[in-house]
Structure 1
């Protein structure tokens, strides 16, 4: 992707959020759009697949505080695109009476040129600016890799180490990443003199972009490797052990820094993005940082009060005191028995009681209930309800 393309993309518009959106607003917008355009939900649709990639690209930048700041600075500097700078030098529209390629070179004293170079180096290479020295091959950051993993409910709450089989682009093993046939070596690109960047004339100024002859590599291959056809890259499959942090939720997308594809020519590795799927539990549910459970109690336990045993996710059950006169559906809080938080504390267990109504009664139990009915006979408990309904 060229610098021009990057600056003209409005990632806020892609996610449908304002520039002032908070991190939570951006996350919510991404999750909604990711579910809508995910390839699994739109089998065979190239249009939704492209939209999903566009949404993911926008989220990758805006969810990272540092990269979002760099992106905002770059768009502010260039007026949210290149079109606003096409005027004549010195014009009120903001035209530049100089070659912008000089800014990106960073060859002068520390100032605007170096600052812009730092911004674009962080945006486009995510690992700092590439070397501009003649004859030096540019370092490249490895590709980001996406994967999915399905966890049990308990693994999601407590965290787990999982094995992930990843397929990504890496250096060709036949030519060690040079792209040249065994016994030969690539030569420095005469067009860009090995920098991998060339200046393109856009009218009143020139713009730096990857060299078209060497495609940004800084090297040309006269006798290409038959395995990778001169690209220097090949498909690599590897298995890694990834630690999924405690407390992840279903549908969450986590980033594992440096676990993506290896870099090229000393560049940093890319990142691994893992989409989390969580299997439901037969007993427990989840509400944010709290676990939920429905606990059956008898009529007498609810009416007279009782101490009951309540299971927790792992470990021995805890004792919960039910006061007399507890209504059906009342929720009790067992502190510290929920989902782990980032600060090391835990949420709570929310236990909701469900009063059981006996399905069969023997003569003794029926007689006892009839005695209870006679002893508590009084006014109609629904009289006030009926009166309120009539008054509306």
Structure 2
């Protein structure tokens, strides 16, 4: 239904491989989420899940699927129950899970943070280390994240008996949701810390140096593990995601790992051949050979003068787009020489534009 689809989309977007390049854990979890969504969307599989939990879907619940295929990713370090719990949490706003899944609650993870930064093309070429200033929730230094005043402690919640969850019925589901008394903590602070008011966390200004790798793409997102907000009661911190934007460069255009640049040559060089000098992203100009008869709009390739390949070896190429400059003002001598040259052209060449027609880009 719509709730399942909405919850699936949120989790799939969070763990999509394109948003987590090189993160094998997210890649496996993404596949497992797809399997969980498939189970909840299929009436037969969902019925088995309601009866037997993930075992009903993954193992066929004693032949329900005839030993059919379960979830991709299961057994590869991904907790399928956790995936179902995340789906239900997104659907119903609590710490969801399948009825009958006992045990102590999983400690809530700190929130992820997302920021954006903009760098120049030169910085994207070389790589750069940027200072990032931001606010985040950190563990309280006074109570060391416990939330309790020095000399006091915490007691187990009597309503959930320390699990952080209570069982409720919702339709034909037996749902496990956040305990309203302790807020899912499983414990209650008797004498709260004054600095954090019993929360165990405080908001602070943070500074972090983030390394932008050479060859970074426009729109790429970097994941800095553990640099998000602190988790409650010493739980795992969230991650920080930094989306990188690259400012347009007045000289170069980027095409994946290749760069392109324009180069103007005069008529004589285009017709007779010669050389021209073009800038490069690393600051060292290169000399490019112009063969005789080079046409306007021709593209020359200079190997290994583009952007570095992200997390790889080598560089892209520099593509040089040739533009032939047509002089607006000619001296008397230049005019005389061009007139003499035109007389040497055959009539059929003149009708078709000849060498000048090709150089000037005419049809």
Deviations 1:136-186 (A, max 9, x none): x95332221111111011111232111111212222344332233454322
Would the aligned equivalents of 1:138 and 1:217 in 2 still touch at CA under 8 Å?
Answer: no
Would the aligned equivalents of 1:305 and 1:324 in 2 still touch at CA under 8 Å?
Answer: yes
- Residue 360 in 1 paired to residue 314 in 2? no
Would the aligned equivalents of 2:139 and 2:234 in 1 still touch at CA under 8 Å?
Answer: no
CA distance change for structure 1 residues 316 and 102 in 2, over 3 Å: closer, same or farther? closer
Aligned to 2:215: 247
Would the aligned equivalents of 2:137 and 2:204 in 1 still touch at CA under 8 Å?
Answer: yes
- Residue 375 in 1 paired to residue 341 in 2? no
Aligned to 1:175: 143
Would the aligned equivalents of 1:84 and 1:94 in 2 still touch at CA under 8 Å?
Answer: yes
Aligned to 1:36: none
- Residue 165 in 1 paired to residue 133 in 2? yes
Deviations 1:201-233 (A, max 9, x none): 235452223222211111112443444343322
Aligned to 2:153: 185
Report the secondary structure of 1:9's partner residue: helix
- Residue 317 in 1 paired to residue 288 in 2? no
CA distance change for structure 1 residues 102 and 304 in 2, over 3 Å: closer, same or farther? closer
Would the aligned equivalents of 1:7 and 1:80 in 2 still touch at CA under 8 Å?
Answer: no
Tell me the TM-score normalized by structure 1.
0.69
- 2:82 counterpart (106, 117, 121): 121
CA distance in 1, matches of 2:54, 2:269: 80
Tell me the TM-score normalized by structure 2.
0.74
- 1:67 counterpart (2, 26, 29): 29
> Aligned-pair distance for 1:273?
1.2
CA distance in 2, matches of 1:251, 1:186: 45
> Aligned-pair distance for 1:327?
0.4
> Aligned-pair distance for 1:94?
4.5
Report the secondary structure of 2:217's partner residue: coil
Aligned to 1:278: 246
- Residue 307 in 1 paired to residue 304 in 2? no
Aligned to 2:20: none
Would the aligned equivalents of 2:277 and 2:285 in 1 still touch at CA under 8 Å?
Answer: yes
Question: What stretches of structure 2 of length at least 5 have no aligned partner?
Answer: 18-25, 57-69, 87-101, 355-363
Aligned to 1:140: 108
CA distance in 2, matches of 1:382, 1:10: 65
Deviations 1:28-78 (A, max 9, x none): xxxxxxxxxxxxxxxxxxxxxxxxxx6xx6421233312212212322343
Would the aligned equivalents of 2:146 and 2:233 in 1 still touch at CA under 8 Å?
Answer: no
> Aligned-pair distance for 1:312?
1.3
CA distance change for structure 1 residues 7 and 182 in 2, over 3 Å: closer, same or farther? farther
Aligned counterparts, 1:63-102, within 5 A: 63=17, 64-79=26-41, 94=48, 96-97=50-51
CA distance in 1, matches of 2:338, 2:79: 81
Deviations 1:214-273 (A, max 9, x none): 111111124434443433222122111111122223333332333322344443332211
Question: What stretches of structure 1 of length at least 5 have no aligned partner?
Answer: 13-53, 86-92, 104-111, 126-131, 384-392
